[in-house]
Amino acid sequence: MKEQDPTVAIFCANLQRMRALACQLALAREIRNAFVHDYPDRHPKKAAAYNAAWRFSDYLLEVAENLEAYSRRHHGKALCD
């Protein structure tokens, strides 16, 4: 069996992390949009967003912490700096 190039393994690991971040961002964005857009006929959607935010609050905080760590690691500064 041929040995795998270490740079390929690192690339694949980074790609998997980026895909996980993309999924986390999609959920956070969906919840955020339901909070900030106030359409009078969409109260059920807003209520669902509040319920989702409550259910996923631990997860959403973890996403925020992961994004903060990623920003500091790769850009040398916090997201809001």
pLDDT of 6 strictly over 80: no
CA distance 66 to 79: 11
CA distance 35 to 53: 9
pLDDT tens-digit profile of 58-74?
Answer: 887 887 888 888 888 88
Residue 80 covered by a domain: yes
Give the residue among 9, 41, 57 at the shortest CA–CA distance from 49: 57
Residue 65 covered by a domain: yes
Domain span including residue 73: 24-81
pLDDT of 77 strictly over 70: yes
pLDDT tens-digit profile of 36-59?
Answer: 777 667 778 778 878 888 888 888
Residue 7 covered by a domain: no
Residue 53 covered by a domain: yes
Residue 4 covered by a domain: no
Residue 12 covered by a domain: no
The pLDDT of residue 39? 67
DSSP 36-55: H---GGGHHHHHHHHHHHHH
Residue 74 covered by a domain: yes
pLDDT tens-digit profile of 8-19?
Answer: 777 777 778 878
> 72: Cβ–Cβ under 8 A, 6 or more apart, which residues?
78
Residue 3 covered by a domain: no
Q: How many domains does the chain have?
A: 1
